[in-house]
Amino acid sequence: MEENKKSAFLSKVEEFAKEMQETVSAKDAKRSIIILATESVENEDAMKQIIGVVGNGQELTRSIAKFANQEDTRPLLKRGLELSMIEAMADKIMGGGI
């Protein structure tokens, strides 16, 4: 089984993340980028993800705050945090995720 093989989608996201890391990380730059990419694995109950966080810490914090405060993205953040808490509790109680 080719478990570590990335799809074209995730490969492109990874390339983009590396490119942005060079651009965003310029000295004294007040920039940030957060990339969340997820793809379901065909014929499996699994997912592959790429998460990229690059940039000035203060700008990253501002980006997250804006995401949390926008009417259309606030529910997504809330649901993500709820799922994270459920998974963490399941891991502690049952020794595994959902």
Statement: residue 6 has pLDDT above 60: yes
Alpha helices (H) along 1-98 = 8-24, 57-69, 74-94
Tens digit of each residue's pLDDT (9 = 90 or more) over 31-58: 899 999 999 887 777 788 989 998 888 9
Tens digit of each residue's pLDDT (9 = 90 or more) over 61-94: 999 999 999 999 999 999 999 999 999 998 888 8
What own/partner pairs with CB < 8 Å and gap ≥ 24 does 14-19 have?
14/50, 17/50, 17/52, 17/54
